[in-house]
Structures are given as structure tokens and as C-alpha cells.
Amino acid sequence: MVCNAVGVMKLYRIFRTPVAARDAADFVLEHLRERGAVDYFSEERFKPVIELARHGAWSEAAKEYRSITGAGIKDSVIAAEIARRIVEFDKR
């Protein structure tokens, strides 16, 4: 058991952050560091990704993102989810 000076166990001392959280952070740092997600996905080349996300086709949006950027599966799934949430937020 890992304890601090007062005997309280700290989760961060035992476990790293979940892989999905680290992957999402990597995506944000690589693609969204200098600008926001809406700005990034408003580029003309991402229109097909946004359109597929608008129809809920996240797997097709991810595939399209891969074909546009050459990204791997992990990044493309994160991108598809961000695109889906942008579309969802715009509906509000």
C-alpha cells in the first residue's frame, strides 16, 4: 500500500491515467494545441468527416479521417468522436 506522509493512499501513485485519456491528450496536443477543435474541423478537407459524423456514422467518419490525414485508427476514432460532438453541440 502506498501512503503519503499522513498515511493517506494516493491513487496517482499506484496507477497511471487510463490509456484512453492519454490517447485523447496526445491527439489534442498534436492537432489542437494551437487552435480549437471547431477551427481544426472547419477546414475544407474535413467536410466529409463532419458530414458522416452528422449522420452518426462514427466508424465511417474515422475511416474518412484516416484517408485524409494518414492518421492511425486510434487518432481517427478520437477525431470522429470530436467531430460528432461538434455536430451535436451545434444542434443545441
Question: What pLDDT band is residue 10 in, cutting at 50, 70 and 90?
Answer: confident
Question: Is the pLDDT score of 2 beyond 60?
Answer: no
What is the tens place of the pLDDT at every residue in 15-34?
Answer: 778 889 899 999 999 999 99
CA distances in angstroms from 27 to 1, 2, 42, 74, 81, listed in the order given? 33, 31, 17, 9, 12
Contact indicator for 53, 86 with CB cutoff of 8 Å: yes
Answer whether residue 56 shows pLDDT above 80.
yes
Cell of 37: 477543435
The residue extents of the domains of the chain are 17-91
Cβ atoms of 58 and 81 closer than 8 Å: yes
